A and B are shown apart, each in its own frame.
Chain A
Amino acid sequence: ETGVTQTPRHLVMGMTNKKSLKCEQHLGHNAMYWYKQSAKKPLELMFVYNFKEQTENNSVPSRFSPECPNSSHLFLHLHTLQPEDSALYLCASSGQWRGYTFGSGTRLTVV
């Protein structure tokens, strides 16, 4: 257990499905992140939230929609994904001047 909990651990979804990934941290961190990890791009930043406000959207397609209802929770809503979106999706959190704490990730397969 890392202090950052991600669910589900594995997800298989069809291209027409809608699903959500959940991330939760109770470390008192003020920033939360979504990363995509695939063989082609090892750690690709998707979104950054600071104190619940989105401060970075790294040109992510609109089929990925983040939501941050409070400083402890972060969601990634998925709809009409493509097979090339199959990857490990990692959530991370950080406090001031500290390293990131990553969750265990959600292994997503789009069929």
Chain B
Amino acid sequence: DTGVSQDPRHKITKRGQNVTFRCDPISEHNRLYWYRQTLGQGPEFLTYFQNEAQLEKSRLLSDRFSAERPKGSFSTLEIQRTEQGDSAMYLCASRTRQGSNTGELFFGEGSRLTVL
């Protein structure tokens, strides 16, 4: 399977714990995006990378959220000191740089977080 893969698919954690999600984009895609989706809402943009550079992070929901893409391939999204309001589906997407905003975003199946 050469699509976008995310791990884990489901995570249940207790409030206050840290969680980390991993995203492996399509191999030739140099842009990688993180979105969050809550029930009844559309995907909400969080941050994105071009290669290893994080070009936009002001939309991260708080300083408890951080993302990395150290070698320009896979990316991780970490949430520290989780709160019940962090419960959501975290989506990763990738695309090539060509065509700027015309390019299709390819999404993974998401990582569902439940904070108890």
Q: Do the two chains bind?
A: no
